[in-house]
Structure 1
């Protein structure tokens, strides 16, 4: 079928990404100019970045401030780690006797009273006179500890707790990932508020995701050779690369790393001009934890490229085929950073019947979804969660769609992630917010594989950080919190400062606010340019 016929027969879906792209050099590039700009490499992370940003409401181009490199606040990291419940060895106990000569008496009493299968000294610290006791794998640690602690010959007994370094990721540009650790650093000239992030560092002490969790990137293509992505790309072990044979009999030839549904071939990356969005999303989810670049929210999961968008748009038909394929390949979570204002029952059915957990972007048209619905974000599917975007001060992003049909909020302004050809860049949009929630869902799934998709979504929604800045903006009134969702314990309510008008001229602020003025584009010498435009066939980016 020709591409023209495919567009006519299906609804166009557009990627929710703010149109401004910041390359590593800090230069702004648009559309087709992106490929050449992304070839520039080796820029020091402390270099000042000049940029221009696009006002999503007026599309007026205005200069941005200089990005400031900021040192990570290790005090916050330390306190976050301290909040984690210490991990204990399942079968090792440290015992301090009042007198070492009583050790055998204590042992005999434990063996007699508790009928443990094993109570042996694994190691003795001579300096501190502490024994490491090993009990049987099936023995009840709690019962043994209680028996020891009430023994008159024992000074104290405790589990052999695991101790962890209070470290931060060593990825070279981690300090720019305010969404993961906001210590008040300035991004694009805006100073953040400490703690307004997804609280993922202490969550990493508990879970990393696990290689058995596969996340589908239902998007444009992914640069699978990127240094920060290659190690986490899903590999179909049942397929022989390059032999042009469908070795696993799934109907797709040489689908070693996913499938390109737009071109109907195994090439999931066709170039920076077409596949920057998917590459950026993939890095947010699962960039490798190493000494290079950035770190993904779930750096130990596998990502499966499901390319159905080329550039900015794709068809419902290709999306349905991609979802079907994902289900067949064992994908557990799909990130869906795309959408349309047209209700799409075929897409709704495919998502609902796939058995996959979907994370959807709320959309970038900056309106209440009660007035202008965005799909798939507004589908009422129990295994889907929708995400709005916030900035580094906890405000709902000016471009983000919102409303009672949107579930949660997550950072989505100036998010650093991977770009094709081993590059990195800042992008803004609900497209950047959704994959962080997908990553947190993967952390929960890896730690608690018995949970259903509905139960994971409930954890995400029930354990948000409720904020005064998000009341009435999303139905949970809160921002996702990785640690809270993992522990299934709701955090405390967050009250953030809201700017207030200061009257320095003795005038009535109320009167000034009520003065009528014409704010139309025409009256202010501006030309209107819609964020999206309707067509006979659907919605496409303007």
Structure 2
């Protein structure tokens, strides 16, 4: 059944921001409440007519009581009705008669000497008015639960946040206030666990739900579990403080919500407030109520809204961006992609399940409902679950735990919009993942790089770098790692005093990140930018030198402005930069190139841009002709960037544009002294930034720094590369009984090796991984003599070779070849660990491979006798999603017999030993929904079965580790479908 939307008449809300002087609160972090109006507020909404005649009035300080002063004001301005808030700040609600001119009343109120602020009593509503389906469970269901707890209709969202991996909720769970349409406190799943709060909508003491929304939300938070009935709440030991502010139509006003927030804030047992509702007016009175609740230690969890837009005008969720006490919740579907209706954007804190969520409804019913309203109580319940384990957690602790330990989402314009957001998907198990007996620790380690320099940047001519420094933590640093920006990574020696002894640098810029981890999985990091330029490296600084050397073109009409006194970069513009007399020889090796722009304003605006060069041998300056920039030929190479905030009044560097410059100087007509042009194209920017141009003075114009090397003129170079095969050795013909061959070695050349390839006398060929240090995996062999040739080529086209004679003879002592197909037999047979914090699980239904992950696969009862020869071994994985993503893995095994099964203990996989044999392999595109094979892993399996205590029937574990992947791929696990879990195929000779 499709999600239904209530059709209502839309009318224009007369009380616009300027009319009423409304100043929406935006920050809750100081004693004073800073108030700033947004750029614009949409006023079109469905609104009950009585709200359009009501005003929330804040009175100035006075001696008389609020009701008396409010009555005087109402009498003076001729208002028809008056309400006050009990025991609260001096707010009164004034309503004009239907025939009274509202603008006149507003003006009279603003001019009254006892009035401080006048605001509209804004409409508040639930974003998702109707459930998808309603169910009647008249008898206990007989269906088997899919997870724990054992409730037969447990919603999929429960396991999606991995709450099913946790033990029972402690009875110390705090009270959660649900401010909504009320709660059916007689429902069997909620009876006895609801505290009756006020009904501010009907102004009585009975918050019974006459709509259903509030009861559904409450069930997600705290429905009884393990009762062989219905579903279960995330924090089933919490009690619900039911406060009604919305009517049977799902509508209410800020006056009701403000009173409800104050009531929840003053309740001593409430720690979490669920607000699955919103208003488009963030009025000051609403903001002050939220701020009061946050200051009283209450965590506000609010729905982000269902407009399918980056729509920040949903309050109170909008205030999450500026407050540690407010969380804004978006909704995802079972694939963890954006629910079709959900709002999104940088102001969102976290995502949670929100599609087809089954929970309680009034009248002993259950219903399936979709919306950010359903996602919000998953987060509120998770916060209560955390507080049940550690009541001392503050709002900032809770928000940091939920956000920092969320699972990453895919922002690629297909799953989630690629808008620069970085919030994650709620994972309660990770947020609760603290070792037994450890104190709750959220403090990251502190890390410092001391050698070669204390932070910043460093330039060297030595290709090998040593680093060292310190790492400290409130408990203990357990691990320090390093990662180069080009993808290499490894472990540092030591912890409190760490060192990396021999890090191989790449020519040009190397951004090196050192990360320290503590026992709780917190991480602290430091970075250093190391520039490696070998001897013979040159640096060339160029600048825009006249008025026709920088130009801008408007995208919508092609108008060109080469003589304009300011440039705008981003939305609506193309920018050009001309650099003349560039003293770079043809086919020089470009090591780095950075365009530097002087930012004059709007330096933190959202822009997304693409850099290209002009595909010309000697580029010409710019002209006034229409479309001068957009019609010029461009390089095939480009570089995309969504830059962080620029520094106002300073030069800001682009990414490394070396590949663009390399394409230009490799052109046949290029020569030293030619000119080049660079362009910046808009690529979906949300705004623009202002950059300096030559017309404002030469000191404001763009600059270009190029670093390059010319050791030998490649045109005159006649020397061939020197190729050396290191493994296996070349002293004699190499004998093997394996079907495939692995080689590694080096290639040396005075100019530089561009490519290393291989071929056999049987016609097979391929490309090695790497150049100066290279590897070749899985060369197929034929019985008898095989000649394998490794060839290296330099920039001038010279080639050098090394030849290895390989004699392949199958094991003649064996009369048979045995083939095995081994599967995973339990949930402990596959596991996944996140590299950045060591969080591990052996209970996932799906698994990611690649960027940020380590994966383990355990195969029991392997009937390979000791002393066997492994002829081939292939791991097959069943692709579920993202089979074309860039993933490079390091395959290894665990060199232990009778090894332990996988667990969810932190760092379970990363702490395990590895075989010396390993295979690094960039995965080919996978066929989705089918098994896809790894490279040959026979060397790894051979090492394991050659262990002294190996015997037939022992277990084998394979470990796959990210090796500089650009993305992730998803596979199925044993828990989802045992028939689609990993398979290990081994062929051996006994």
Q: TM-score, normalised by structure 1?
A: 0.56
Aligned to 1:279: 215
Task: Note if 1:8 corresponds to 2:54.
Answer: yes
Q: What is the 5 A alignment of 1:366-377?
A: 366-369=308-311, 372-377=312-317
Q: Judging by fraction of residues, say which structure has more strand.
A: 2
- Provide structure 1 residue ranges, at least 5 long, that are not aligned to the other structure: 25-39, 47-68, 78-167, 182-196, 235-256, 501-542
- Output the CA distance in 1 between the equivalents of 2:150 and 2:243: 30
**Is the Cα–Cα contact under 8 Å of residues 145 and 153 in structure 2 kept in the other structure?**
no
- Output the CA distance in 1 between the equivalents of 2:380 and 2:420: 18
Q: What is the 5 A alignment of 1:80-229?
A: 168-174=148-154, 177-181=155-159, 197-203=160-166, 205=167, 208-211=169-172, 213-229=174-190
C-alpha offsets along residues 461-494 of structure 1, whole Å, 9 cap, x if unaligned? 0000112245746844310100111126487385
Task: Note if 1:313 corresponds to 2:251.
Answer: yes
Task: Note if 1:410 corresponds to 2:521.
Answer: no
Task: Note if 1:302 corresponds to 2:302.
Answer: no
Aligned to 1:365: 307
**Is the Cα–Cα contact under 8 Å of residues 209 and 215 in structure 2 kept in the other structure?**
no
1:471–1:492 CA distance, 2 compared to 1 (3 A): farther
1:7–1:263 CA distance, 2 compared to 1 (3 A): farther
- Output the CA distance in 2 between the equivalents of 1:44 and 1:446: 29
**Is the Cα–Cα contact under 8 Å of residues 339 and 375 in structure 1 kept in the other structure?**
yes
- Output the CA distance in 1 between the equivalents of 2:140 and 2:191: 23
- Provide structure 2 residue ranges, at least 5 long, that are not aligned to the other structure: 1-47, 56-120, 434-519, 523-832, 836-847, 850-879, 885-990
C-alpha offsets along residues 404-444 of structure 1, whole Å, 9 cap, x if unaligned? 00011111000000000000010000000000000000011
1:214–1:44 CA distance, 2 compared to 1 (3 A): closer
**Is the Cα–Cα contact under 8 Å of residues 137 and 366 in structure 2 kept in the other structure?**
no
Aligned to 2:14: none
1:489–1:424 CA distance, 2 compared to 1 (3 A): farther
Aligned to 1:155: none
- Output the CA distance in 1 between the equivalents of 2:345 and 2:151: 36
C-alpha offsets along residues 336-383 of structure 1, whole Å, 9 cap, x if unaligned? 1111222322212211121210111110000013xx522111112220
**Is the Cα–Cα contact under 8 Å of residues 403 and 472 in structure 1 kept in the other structure?**
no
- Output the CA distance in 2 between the equivalents of 1:222 and 1:4: 25
Aligned to 1:492: 834
Q: CA deviation at 1:20?
A: 4.3
Q: What is the 5 A alignment of 1:392-431?
A: 392-431=334-373
Q: Which fold has the larger relative contact order, with Cα–Cα distance below 8 Å and residues 6 or more apart in sequence?
A: 1
How many residues were matched structurally? 323
C-alpha offsets along residues 18-77 of structure 1, whole Å, 9 cap, x if unaligned? 6443111xxxxxxxxxxxxxxx6527858xxxxxxxxxxxxxxxxxxxxxx8x655xxx6
Task: Note if 1:435 corresponds to 2:377.
Answer: yes
- Output the CA distance in 2 between the equivalents of 1:425 and 1:364: 19
Task: Note if 1:483 corresponds to 2:429.
Answer: yes
C-alpha offsets along residues 448-473 of structure 1, whole Å, 9 cap, x if unaligned? 11111111111000000112245746
* Secondary structure of 1:258's aligned partner: strand
Q: TM-score, normalised by structure 2?
A: 0.31
**Is the Cα–Cα contact under 8 Å of residues 465 and 492 in structure 1 kept in the other structure?**
no
- Output the CA distance in 2 between the equivalents of 1:315 and 1:474: 33
**Is the Cα–Cα contact under 8 Å of residues 461 and 476 in structure 1 kept in the other structure?**
no
Aligned to 1:42: 138
- Output the CA distance in 2 between the equivalents of 1:484 and 1:445: 15
Larger radius of gyration: 2
Task: Note if 1:327 corresponds to 2:265.
Answer: yes
Q: Judging by fraction of residues, say which structure has more helix.
A: 1
* Secondary structure of 1:442's aligned partner: helix
